[in-house]
Amino acid sequence: MAVTERFITRRELPANLELPPGPRLPAAIQTLVFMTHRTWIAPRWHRRYGDVFSVHLAPAGRAVVLTRPEHIREVFAGPASTFHAGEGNAILGPIMGEHSVLLLDEDAHLAARKRVMAAFRGEAMRGYSEVVERLAEDQVARWPVDRPFAVHPYLNEISLDVILRIVFGVTDETRLSEMRPLLRRLVRIGPLVFLGWLYPWLDAVGPWRRFRRLKDATDRVLYAEIADRRTVADLAGRTDVLSKLLVADPAQSDAELRDHLVTLLLAGHETTASTLAWTFHDLARRPDLLRHVQRAADEDDDAYLEAVVKESMRLRPVIGQVARRLATPVRIAGYDLPAGIVVFPSIALVQRRPSVFPSPEEFRPQRFLDGSPPPATWIPFGGGIRRCLGAALAMVEAQAVLKAVLRRVDIAPVGRPEWSKTRNITTVPGRGARIISRPR
């Protein structure tokens, strides 16, 4: 069964099913509000309905939102045969592909995860920081000086180059110039395109036809790169992720490799760039903290830079929740939930619990220098056996960019603090994190 069909085809739920309280708006309205204003509506539902509440979202169906660490731990520690993350993510199947580690469950997921994890181990991870710093140095040299600009697009360019060079391992300038415009468009697909994945008859018209053509053009370039890479003489000595995947298992099909690359692109591009955009947005409004972070950058204080990144991910998570569809009945958070229900451990809500993070609205990197937070309270990369495979690379990239930028420039805020805007499954600064930059 195709991943999208698997996502749409749901088990019939019991007519007398008792779910936690939640909004009674029609599913279409709940879905629209959640897709476009989730950072605004989720906290309001939380305050009104409590720590466990239910929503009705298309196409997921009935879902239960979890905000307490002990309930989230139950999900992350639960059996993979019950909590299916692949089914919860399957709406992304048409773009990520059926071999994506995000869309597989149980044994198939473990096998794919093992192959991909092999590419993120070893000395290469330590060398990636230098590559990222060079890319960031080149980019910051092109930033506007002494006038307002949105920093988010510039950070997206850094993140895209990181993926092209470190993940894809592309060095040929002709191939790079061919890939960049295609991948820029691919990562910016809007939520409207999701409808075309659910209703195939839309595939021949409007934005859905344009997306299909974009995907086909992108796939052609990716398959060409994979074919070329299989023939290089120094494959075993290369440190990029694609080369390591080929060395680890040369029998992998081109389709499998393509799906891994696109998954790493979509999971690692917007997320890291948006985290950095929010970090610069917030630091620009805290001159005292900015000076502290600049000193850490000057002195290679990686522990403090890591704390800054972690606090930014806590305060403004780019992904608001993770999803698990229940393959078997389970009792969780005091409710007996049948197979077919989706549970949403809420990243955004658990990371702002005052009982865990006092004054949760304040940007305080010190929180992460005083010891690790309790389990299931800081979860921007998810948790359990489904924790994000690219987490280590994301942290390396974010710290290296912070270091490269703040060694070279001062930043100042522009206007009022920005709101969060939903873009696809991520939340980003509403005006692109506008700042003013000038040489230090």
Q: What is the CATH number of the domain that holds 56?
A: 1.10.630.10
SS3 53: strand
Q: Are 314 and 300 in contact (CB under 8 A)?
A: no
The distance of Cα 158 from the centroid of its chain, to the nearest Å, equals 16
For residue 293, give the amino acid letter.
V
pLDDT of res. 7: 43
Q: Are 278 and 155 in contact (CB under 8 A)?
A: no
DSSP, residue by residue, 110-122: HHHHHHHHGGG-S
SS3 65: strand
pLDDT of res. 208: 82
Of 94, 106, 60, 401, the closest CA to residue 263 belongs to 94
pLDDT of res. 188: 81
CA angle 407, 187, 313 (to 5 degrees): 45
SS3 128: helix
Distance in angstroms (rounded) separating the CA atoms of residues 346 and 323: 9
pLDDT of res. 120: 80
pLDDT of res. 216: 94
Cβ within 8 Å of residue 155, ≥6 positions away: 273, 274, 276, 277, 280, 401
Quote the domain boundaries for residue 156. 3-439
Of 440, 373, 379, 374, the closest CA to residue 405 belongs to 440
Listed as ranges, residues in the chain with pLDDT below 50 are 1-4, 6-9
Distance in angstroms (rounded) separating the CA atoms of residues 41 and 417: 19
| SS3 of 128-141 | HHHHHHHHHHHHHC
Sign of the dihedral through C-alpha 59, 62, 65, 71:
negative
Q: Are 30 and 113 in contact (CB under 8 A)?
A: no
Domain count along the chain: 1
pLDDT of res. 304: 97
pLDDT digits (tens, 9 = 90+) for 140-181: 999 999 999 999 999 999 999 999 999 999 988 999 999 999
Q: Phi, psi at residue 435, to the nearest 5°?
A: -140, 175
Distance in angstroms (rounded) separating the CA atoms of residues 208 and 298: 48
Q: What is the pTM of this model?
A: 0.91
pLDDT of res. 12: 67
pLDDT of res. 421: 86
Sign of the dihedral through C-alpha 138, 144, 148, 153:
negative
Burial class, 305, CB count within 10 angstroms (exposed 0-12 / middle 13-18 / buried 19+): buried
pLDDT digits (tens, 9 = 90+) for 206-242: 788 888 899 999 999 999 999 999 999 999 999 999 9
SS3 158: helix
For residue 175, give the amino acid letter.
R
Distance in angstroms (rounded) separating the CA atoms of residues 72 and 55: 17
